Structure 1
Amino acid sequence: MLYTRFLDGAIEPSLISVLSHSKAVRCEDVARQTDVKAKYKLWVPQSESNTVRSMLNTCN
């Protein structure tokens, strides 16, 4: 499982490692997670941002 380490030392599972295998569910989860991070101005690592962008481009 991939993890994200925050500046305060907290560690949480990476978004990518906890996604569903179902494309419809995965697209909804990624969009929701992106909205939450944008709303609260949360930091997103560049690698996660690139992956999320690629994933959202495959969603209809």
Structure 2
Amino acid sequence: MKSTWRVRADERYWWVVIGLGNALVTVIDVDPYRRGMGEGIITGGALYARVGAVNAELMRGK
């Protein structure tokens, strides 16, 4: 399972992909308005909600 984040750093935007065990998978330089699309992109449902909950816990440092 992987999680993708859009991050702004050094006045640029990046897509950062994190895998299991907090492993950095890839970093892609992107346009600030670009959105991920395609059949492999999950934008709703139980899995999306679970990943959101896990990410929220990680951001709180738990």
TM-score w.r.t. the length of structure 1 is 0.33
Instruction: Report the structure number with the largest CA radius of gyration.
Output: 2
| Higher normalized helix content (fraction of residues) | 1
